Amino acid sequence: MGRKTVAISLSDIAAMGGSPLFALCSVALPESACIRYARDLYRGMRDIAAEFRVDIVGGNVTSWKHPLSTCSTLIGEIPAKQPITRAGAKTGDAIMVTSELGGSVLGKHLRFTPRVKEALTLNKNYTIHSMIDISDGLTQDLAHLAEPGRLGFLLYEEAIPLSRDAKRLAKKTGRRALEHALSDGEDFELLFCVSRSEAKRILATWRLPTRISLIGEITRSGYRLRKPSGEIVTVEPKGYVHFRK
Amino acid sequence: MGRKTVAISLSDIAAMGGSPLFALCSVALPESACIRYARDLYRGMRDIAAEFRVDIVGGNVTSWKHPLSTCSTLIGEIPAKQPITRAGAKTGDAIMVTSELGGSVLGKHLRFTPRVKEALTLNKNYTIHSMIDISDGLTQDLAHLAEPGRLGFLLYEEAIPLSRDAKRLAKKTGRRALEHALSDGEDFELLFCVSRSEAKRILATWRLPTRISLIGEITRSGYRLRKPSGEIVTVEPKGYVHFRK
């Protein structure tokens, strides 16, 4: 959990093409927690902060009668060009994603690597129209890049990179691995839009070990998926719902 | 609570003689909370932020099955001289405090005004050796300025400014109002050390409406209180204990 609370914010910085500098970490420890619990929690924070050369410069520590609550604030800078926002996708843009999706609940949600290096490389060397990290689920976060009424998307089913955990989880849930890749939250992969020509250039020149896939295109309206058969179906953005009322 | 979560951090900025600029506010709302609850919480944050010309620029909103958890990060700058830290008190320094102490639990802990203006005035116009805001209780926070083994303090009982709420609370608890002023937490007043001559200059030239009192002196060792009779007694730093094990 210590690692995750910092990693989530690192991923947020990455999603804007930024470089993280400082972290502030706050924890409300359960009263029942022992000093070892607090140390282990801090170790998780410290290790991932060190991994990304981030200094933990502040925060707060308290205890309460309820479960652990953590909060991290990361301060970063934009070392190249401009920050990349969620706005900026255009009709005809290619939709790309890092690594593989789905089944994060089996463990990746705690152990994921924030895509800071990948995002900085993208921001420095390519023109990225818009970017987000997948926290709520692919289709739901894609809807943040293609706001209803303004834009739509078409995903290519066979191009969506399924993680091994999406397949493992599918065996347990009886759903398709694709469904997990489309709607599982907390993948913390980068989802971004670029022109078709820039997408080709990225695929041709990408040198980092993290795989990048072209998984669809931005359209004028509607959220759709093209099956391998060529059939096109509507998809309902699904994923983590923050508030039910 | 919205007001308080931002005010606490404003008070932290004040305690270093800084000027607040930006706030990041995070909340984990209880699942049972309605939209009005969230709006009211935000209104509290927004109003105090506006009062101190601070922009709320980020944060996070989520919900969970447990009680409200809030976290704020304030970013500020030091507009004058140096930041004032907890270190720097010297033997013979005068100990001063803003406003009145004790009984905060009767309501001030939610409604207090962070002493940003007072701290900036102190940092700009006077030489402040060390400063802290009283969150754990006067004697306990004073022990942070006069670390055991390095320094001590002598408080003048009759000089300690007792709040009306300290007196009201004393009637309920059967303790003395003085005890409440010495050990109640969440006063969020400024507690600071200056040379004797600077203390005189502050008292002679202070123009803000917030009262400032000279309540004691930094000594070589021991935590003591001088009673009006002249008798000197040892005080045990008391106040809010963050961790009991």
pLDDT digits (tens, 9 = 90+) for B146-184: 987 899 999 999 999 999 999 999 999 999 999 999 999
A interface with B, Cβ–Cβ < 8 A, is: 24, 26, 28, 34-35, 58, 60-63, 66-67, 69, 71, 73, 75, 242-243, 245
Answer whether B242 sits within 8 Å of A26, measured CB to CB: no
Residue B203 has pLDDT above 60, yes or no: yes
Confidence label for B238 from pLDDT (cuts 50, 70 and 90): confident
- Let me know: does A101 contact A162? Beta carbons within 8 Å: yes
Residue A1 has pLDDT above 90, yes or no: yes
Indicate the residue of A26, A61, A242 with minimum beta-carbon distance to B62: A242
Answer whether A63 sits within 8 Å of B28, measured CB to CB: no
- Measured between beta carbons, the chain A residues lying within 8 angstroms of B242 are 61-63
- Measured between beta carbons, the chain A residues lying within 8 angstroms of B25 are none
- What is the pLDDT at residue A245? 47
| CA B90/CA B102 separation, integer angstroms | 26
- What is the pLDDT at residue A243? 61
The predicted-structure confidence for A19-36, as pLDDT tens digits, reads as follows 999 999 999 999 999 999
Indicate the residue of A61, A66, A71 with minimum beta-carbon distance to B66: A66
The predicted-structure confidence for A91-100, as pLDDT tens digits, reads as follows 999 999 999 9
Residue A176 has pLDDT above 90, yes or no: yes
- Measured between beta carbons, the chain B residues lying within 8 angstroms of A62 are 242
SS3 of A208, please? coil
The predicted-structure confidence for A68-115, as pLDDT tens digits, reads as follows 999 999 999 998 778 999 999 999 999 999 999 999 999 999 999 999
- What is the pLDDT at residue B237? 85
B164 CB-near residues (< 8 Å, 6+ apart): B100, B103
Residue B228 has pLDDT above 90, yes or no: yes
| CA B45/CA A106 separation, integer angstroms | 37
Answer whether A62 sits within 8 Å of B242, measured CB to CB: yes
Q: Which two tokens stand for residue A76?
A: 């970063």
Domains, chain B, in order of start with CATH, read: 2-77 (3.30.1330.10), 94-234 (3.90.650.10)
A230 CB-near residues (< 8 Å, 6+ apart): none
- Let me know: does B5 contact B25? Beta carbons within 8 Å: yes
The predicted-structure confidence for A132-166, as pLDDT tens digits, reads as follows 999 999 999 999 999 878 999 999 999 999 999 99
Name the CA dihedral angle for B200, B195, B96, B118, rounded to a multiple of 10 degrees. 80
Q: How far does the CA of residue B31 sit from the closest CA of chain A (Å)?
A: 8
- What is the pLDDT at residue A237? 85
Instruction: Work out whether the CA dihedral A132, A133, A136, A140 comes out positive or negative.
Output: positive
Which runs of E-coded beta strand occur in chain B? 19-30, 55-64, 69-77, 94-98, 130-133, 152-156, 190-194, 212-219, 223-226, 232-234
**Beta pairing, strands B232-234 & B69-77:** unpaired
- What is the pLDDT at residue B9? 97
Average pLDDT of chain B, as a whole number: 95
A147/A210: higher pLDDT: A210
- What is the pLDDT at residue A61? 93
Q: How far does the CA of residue B192 sit from the closest CA of chain A (Å)?
A: 22
Percentage of chain A beyond pLDDT 70 is: 98
Hey, of A22, A41, A71, which one would you mutate to test binding to chain B, going by the most B CBs within 10 A of its CB?
A71
- What is the pLDDT at residue A114? 98
Find, in chain B, the residue whose alpha carbon is nearest to that of A240. Answer: B62
Residue B243 has pLDDT above 80, yes or no: no
The predicted-structure confidence for B36-88, as pLDDT tens digits, reads as follows 999 999 999 999 999 999 999 999 999 999 999 999 999 999 987 789 999 99
Confidence label for B241 from pLDDT (cuts 50, 70 and 90): low
